[in-house]
Amino acid sequence: MKKRNLKAQEISQFLVLGAILVFSNIILSGFFFRIDLTEDKRYTISEASKEIMKNLKSNIYIEVYLEGEFPAGFQRLQKSIKETLEQFRAYSGDKIDYVFIDPGASSDIKIRNSVFQQLAKQGLQPTNLMVKEGAEQVQKIIFPGAIIKVKDKIIPIQFLKGNQAASPAERLNQSVEGLEFEIANGIKMAATAEKSRIAILNGHGELSDKSIQDLGLTLKQYYSVDAVNLKTTDSLLKYDAIIMAKPKQKIEEFEKFKLDQFIVKGGKAIFLLDGIRAEIDSIKPDGSLAFPYETNLDDFLFKLGIRLNPDLLLDLNCGAIPMVVGIVGDKPETKLVPWRFYPVLNEFGKHPIVRNMDALYGKFVSTIDTTLDPKIRKTPLIFSSKYSKIVASPVRLSFNEARLNPQPEQYKLSRLPVAYLLESSFISLYQNRMVPEASSKLGFKEVDKPSKIIVVGDGDFAKNDTNKAGDFFALGYDRFLGTTFANKDFIMNSLSYLLDETGVILAKNKTIALRPLDIPRINAQKVLWQIINIALPIIIIIVLGFLRLFFRNRKYRIA
């Protein structure tokens, strides 16, 4: 009788427990939450990204071109992309749909090449990957990126980022760290109904046409872009941001007043400026003297909190140019020689704009100093290497500089700043001076809204090379070195930060620690760990089974 009661009691307890689990599941299904127990919070999504997903009005479709057999590092990147997309889909209320595609799946070479060309036209960059097929190592072209589609909008995003100076494992880890920002920012760009408006200024010899075409085409994928003549435009106030790249001529006072009021009233700006008039094509065989540009911007920049120095940076970490180094037979011998006026910039400040940034390429770069105004927040973004020096105006430029062996004791200067981020509610340059004539249309303000400005001491920073036929190369690509530098990524990151009201770029601060295996220890303790991982779980299950059987028999004997 007692046994029957105990059995009925166990059944009723089981049914009650089952009912509790069912009702709990029904109640909790209306709530979404996750608990991240990892030390570096690698699965935690920022509040800015959550808000973007929650506020989506339209369905998002994402094609990820990272499917197939990959080495372990790329498998980790692939898995992290899936995890991030799953979290975004959950926070969006299932408004995000995605598919993984292998662009090289077709066995037909023509079809495969057609797909590759289409992806390249849409803005995805290919990379070569060594994979193992059978006993051989073969090269495989992959497109580690995605296309985000919303109605008629198409936004390309790249996943493989990071610094090429790092090891492959570190670079892939940097790419994983940046996934949340890349995907969330791409979704935000695609889902935003109205694009931010950007003006690329001209009228004073700035970069234009073919020399800035690659940047212009990239900007148009994400923003509404206009070429604006500062001389003739009535106002810049209808734009969200402006880019001024390498002005060579004097900017008149009223034109400077337009810049001033645009920034005072909250407009964002990127200034790419040369401190010295230096062009490699203008260097004469016996050398040339280079003097500062007379752009009339010195007082304007000083009011913003910086001074562009009339000097040139020479760096031992530099690019190269082709030069004739001798004669072989009756033909000149040409080789690439280091050109220290073209620094490779791979030292960065602590800011999301430059986090995990790849190396940048400068050409005739000038250093930047800051003023003591405490109201302006000044963040250095880019530095020279540990082995650099500066030469002040007038600078003698000669190709003999490339032929000389550098003296290390002359390159003692370290981490000289060449780019700054400035943030403040800026005070007008014309606060205590005469306002230019015809300024009544702009409505003068001494101080108004907070603004953000980025100044780079290199006017050619946004310039893409062209060949003799007039075709342009990608921004950052140097045809002599055969390397693509991250100049375009820096400008795009800068605009994301300047125009980002949600703070999604702060997701770039995510840090995921690499925990590599101790290979010598694994080899020495291989058998031990195999026993622990294979035999130990089985032994634990057997022991628990015997214990359960023992206590069950004991319980019923007492009964």
What is residue 513's predicted lDDT score, i.e. its pLDDT?
A: 56
Q: Does residue 515 carry a pLDDT above 60?
A: no
Q: Kindly state the helix (H) or strand (E) to which residue 290 belongs, with its residue range.
A: strand 288-290
CB contact set of 182 (below 8 Å; sequence gap of 6+): 157, 158, 159, 161
Distance in angstroms (rounded) separating the CA atoms of residues 347 and 417 = 9
Q: What is the pLDDT of residue 100?
A: 92
| Topology given in CATH for the domain delimited by 196-501 | Rossmann fold (3.40.50)
pLDDT exceeds 80 at position 546: yes
The predicted model gives 76-88 an average pLDDT of: 90
Kindly report the average pLDDT of the chain as a whole number. 86
> pLDDT per residue over 365-409, tens digit each?
999 999 999 999 999 999 999 999 999 989 999 988 888 888 888
Q: Does the structure show a pLDDT above 60 at 221? A: yes
Find the length of the chain: 559
Give the pLDDT confidence score for residue 346 in this predicted structure: 94
Query: What pLDDT is stored for residue 460 in this prediction?
Result: 95
Region of poorest pLDDT, from 27-41, 97-111, 161-175, 465-479:
27-41
Residues 6+ apart with CB under 8 A from 25: none
Mean pLDDT (whole number) for 259-269: 95
Q: What are the phi and psi torsion angles at 413 (to 5°)?
A: -80, 145
Which residues face 242 on adjacent strands? 199, 269
**Tens of pLDDT, residues 12-23:** 777 777 778 777
What residues does 397 pair with on adjacent strands? 288
Q: In the chain, what's the furthest Cα-to-Cα distance? A: 114
Domain boundaries, the chain: 47-190, 196-501
| Residue-level pLDDT at 245 | 95
- At residue 35, the pLDDT reads 66
Element spanning 127, H or E: strand 127-133
Residue with the bigger pLDDT between 552 and 228: it is 228
Q: Return the DSSP state at 44.
A: P
pLDDT of residue 511: 60
pLDDT confidence bin for 42, thresholds 50/70/90: low
pLDDT at 171 over 90: no
Beta strands 368-370 and 224-229, pairing class = unpaired
Choose the weakest-confidence range: 303-312, 318-327, 336-345, 420-429: 318-327
pLDDT at 558 over 60: no
Side chain identity at residue 42, one-letter code: R
- Comparing 509 with 226, the larger pLDDT belongs to 226
Q: How far apart are CA 501 and CA 48, in angstroms?
A: 9
How far apart are the C-alpha atoms of 351 and 358, rounded to whole Å?
14
Tell me the pLDDT tens digit for each residue of 313-368. Answer: 999 999 999 988 777 767 777 888 999 999 999 999 999 999 889 999 999 999 99
Q: Exposure of 288 by Cβ count < 10 A (0-12 exposed, 13-18 middle, 19+ buried)?
A: middle
| Closest CA relative to residue 239, chosen from 217, 270, 211, 214 | 270
Asked which of 299-308, 319-328, 422-431, 521-530 is least confident by mean pLDDT, the reply is 521-530
Q: CB-based contacts of 549: which residues, under 8 Å, 6+ apart?
A: none
Q: Is 26 exposed, middle or buried (0-12, 13-18, 19+ CB in 10 A)?
A: exposed
Query: Residues 119-155: pLDDT tens digits?
Result: 888 888 888 876 655 556 667 788 888 999 988 788 8
| Token pair belonging to 320 | 């190269």
CATH architecture of the domain formed by 47-190: 3-Layer(aba) Sandwich (3.40)
